[in-house]
Structure 1
């Protein structure tokens, strides 16, 4: 389970809406499933159908998290026009072990956020709890 503070949950939606119609992306860090750090990243592909984070920027975030004694808990991205479920491309490119994949959908009247574990091409929904 991912526990996401309400202020970070709301910031994910704001980031997705700000980057619309492109996919927004970023990293969530913390410990033991509790998200404490939010790192919005640039979508270097500048696409509304897929995202790519700059490796240098990712490495910098992971290094900062380690310095704080934390880990990367999730990679997040938005789906501007499709539901909050992994696409075939999301599944194929989910190569980082032991992280959640959080998807923010802007397809409906209200934004929707869902989390998944994706390992070896197998997608498992992961519960999210919003705290605070």
Structure 2
């Protein structure tokens, strides 16, 4: 179960809406299973079907996480027009071990956010708990 404070959850959904109709992407940092930081990243592909994070931004985020004693807990991206489930490309490119993959779908009137663990092509749905703090 991934625990996300409501303020970070709302920022993630706002990022997806602001980037529409393109996919947005980012990183969630924290400790154990609790998110405490969000990093909005640049989708260098500028596409509505896939994303690629800017490598220099990724390096800066990893450096900042380490400086704060945090870990990368999740990689997130949006699906502007499709459900919040991993596409074949999402599964193929899920190469970071030990992290969650969070997808925010804008296909419905209300955003739908889901989390998955993806290891070696196997996808497992993971619950999200929205917390007050």
Shorter chain as denominator, the TM-score bin is over 0.9
Q: Which whole-Å deviations, capped at 9, do the CAs of 1:64-114 have from their partners, x for residues lacking one?
A: 001111100000000000000000000000000000000000001110000
**Paired residues, number:** 132
Offset, 1:38: 0.3
**What residue is the counterpart of 2:130 in the other structure?**
130
Is 1:102 the counterpart of 2:102 in the alignment?
yes
1:59 and 1:99 map into 2 onto residues whose CA distance is 16
Offset, 1:59: 1.0
Q: Which whole-Å deviations, capped at 9, do the CAs of 1:38-79 have from their partners, x for residues lacking one?
A: 000110000000000011110110110011111000000000
Any unmatched runs of 5+ in structure 2?
A: none
**What residue is the counterpart of 1:53 in the other structure?**
53
2:39 and 2:109 map into 1 onto residues whose CA distance is 26
How well do the aligned residues superpose, as a CA RMSD in angstroms? 0.4
**What residue is the counterpart of 1:121 in the other structure?**
121
Note the 1:44-83 alignment, pairs <5 A. Answer: 44-83=44-83
Q: Which whole-Å deviations, capped at 9, do the CAs of 1:9-60 have from their partners, x for residues lacking one?
A: 0001100000000001000000001000000011000000000001111011
Note the 1:82-101 alignment, pairs <5 A. Answer: 82-101=82-101
